[in-house]
Amino acid sequence: MDPLELTRLDLLWALIRVLLGGTFLRRAWIHHGSSWPDGLFVLALTSVGAGLVFGILMRYTAVCAAVLLVFTHAGPLVDHRLVFALVVLGIGFTTLGWRYGLGRWWSGTPLVQRHPWLA
């Protein structure tokens, strides 16, 4: 099997990745607040959402998304945020962004070629 061959499961994960990214972007859009911590929170939500939607910086994005989900929750341990955190970590450590997003293009940019940790 060609490693770049599309499978239904890959397409499902790509769809989940984009939809999760959309939820972060939606949350950033509707979040209100005028303090600088609120501004940083909105920037974090926007960055994570964009990374997921476009499939770039996937490992970094997945870790940041998981941290945001876990640390913004102050209730019981088993919650949808914990499940989402595990899902975005799983997505981030696959090649989904590279295969079905802009990750391949992103990996070829001069910036990423000079700083491979950004891949």
Q: Which residues of the chain have pLDDT under 70?
A: 1-5, 73-78
Please tell me the predicted confidence (pLDDT) of residue 11.
86
Query: pLDDT value at position 24?
Result: 95
Residue 111, in any domain of the structure: yes
Phi-psi region of 33 (alpha: psi -120 to 50; beta: other; left: phi over 0): left
Return the pLDDT at 2.
61
Q: Is residue 76 part of a domain?
A: yes
Burial grade of 89 (CB within 10 A; 0-12, 13-18, 19 or more): middle
Query: What is the DSSP code (8-state) at residue 117?
Result: G
pLDDT, residue 90, reads 86
Asked whether residue 21 is domain-assigned, the answer is: yes
- State which residues form the domain around 112: 8-118
| pLDDT tens digits for range 100-118 | 899 999 999 999 999 998 8
Q: Name the domain count of the chain.
A: 1
